[in-house]
Amino acid sequence: MAFFEGSKMTAGYGSGPDIISSCSINVDRGEIVAILGPNGAGKSTAMKAMLGLLKLKSGSVLMDGKDISKLSPQDRVKQGISFVPQNKNVFPDLTVRENLEVGAFLRDDDVNKVIEEIYDLFPILKEKNLQIVGELSGGQRQQVALGRALMIKPSVLMLDEPTAGVSPIVMDELFQHIIKVKETNVAIIMVEQNAKQALSISDRGYVLVTGQNKFEGLGKELLQDPEVRRSFLGA
């Protein structure tokens, strides 16, 4: 059994149609898993269901063998799940350090040690620690968002389009930072539009189509799969 798993999840919004149907995604600690697919495939919906932001009609969410399907999003955070949304993922009027301190809201110990660990992972944040985040570049703001999410020392990190709107050079840099986070034994699930690049750093990947698992496998295998390449990688 995987460390974190959404099993046969079916969910939608309100009384509308199901957006995901019997969709399954899992990840182990020290692993990066990418969720890919065309617009409207249900990628972000699957992530919201695993976070508890969307109620499941059927299926379950398991963490370390425990069913957490009934837990609120706040209680899932307390279990060690951290989330970086695509938009509004930093406090632009606060400094870098203040953003990190806000991320430590669940901690009751000295946060200085954890902040130093974040600075080791993201050296630019130490250099800019007193700068207002709204003045930073897009890539630097994303590092602040990642650092803030890591302040609770999560076992699961969920990223929604972490490289959206940044240049190819910054995208490569952010992916390298995500690899460094993985090496701290965090389980990482990311929704990504940059499919080729995401699969190149992912241990495994899932391709969703109309809310269902269409392809899944090792990242390098999906990169070489002729149908995946033709349909989703522009090759």
- Distance of alpha carbon 10 from alpha carbon 155, whole angstroms: 25
65 domain residue, yes or no: no
Regarding beta strands 156-160 and 66-67, do their DSSP bridges make them parallel or antiparallel, or are they unpaired?
unpaired
Note the pLDDT of residue 126.
96
* Buried b or exposed e, range 30-64, using 16+ CB within 10 angstroms: ebbbbbbbbeebbbbbbbbbbbbbbebeebebbbe
Note the pLDDT of residue 164.
85
26 domain residue, yes or no: yes
Q: Residue 121: what residue type?
A: L
Note the pLDDT of residue 110.
79
Report pLDDT digits (tens) over 105-143.
Answer: 777 777 898 999 999 999 999 999 999 999 999 889 999
Per residue, what are the HEC states of the chain? CCCEEEEEEEEECCCCCEEEEEEEEEECCCCEEEEECCCCCCHHHHHHHHHCCCCCCEEEEEECCEECCCCCHHHHHHCCEEEECCCCCCCCCCEHHHHHHHHCCCCCCCCHHHHHHHHHHCHHHHHCCCCEHHHCCHHHHHHHHHHHHHCCCCCEEEEECCCCCCCHHHHHHHHHHHHHHHCCCCEEEEECCCHHHHHHHCCEEEEEECCEEEEEEEHHHHHHCHHHHHHHCCC
Tally of domains in the chain: 1
Task: Report the residue count for the chain.
Answer: 235
69 domain residue, yes or no: no
128 domain residue, yes or no: yes
Q: What is the domain-level CATH number for residue 145?
A: 3.40.50.300
- Distance of alpha carbon 142 from alpha carbon 175, whole angstroms: 11
Q: Residue 56: what residue type?
A: L
Report pLDDT digits (tens) over 145-197.
Answer: 999 999 999 999 999 999 888 888 889 999 999 999 999 999 999 999 888 99
pTM greater than 0.85: yes
CB 219 within 8 A of CB 27: no
Report pLDDT digits (tens) over 5-30.
Answer: 999 999 999 888 999 999 999 999 99
12 domain residue, yes or no: no
81 domain residue, yes or no: no
61 domain residue, yes or no: no
Domain extent, residue 188, equals 20-43+89-232
153 domain residue, yes or no: yes
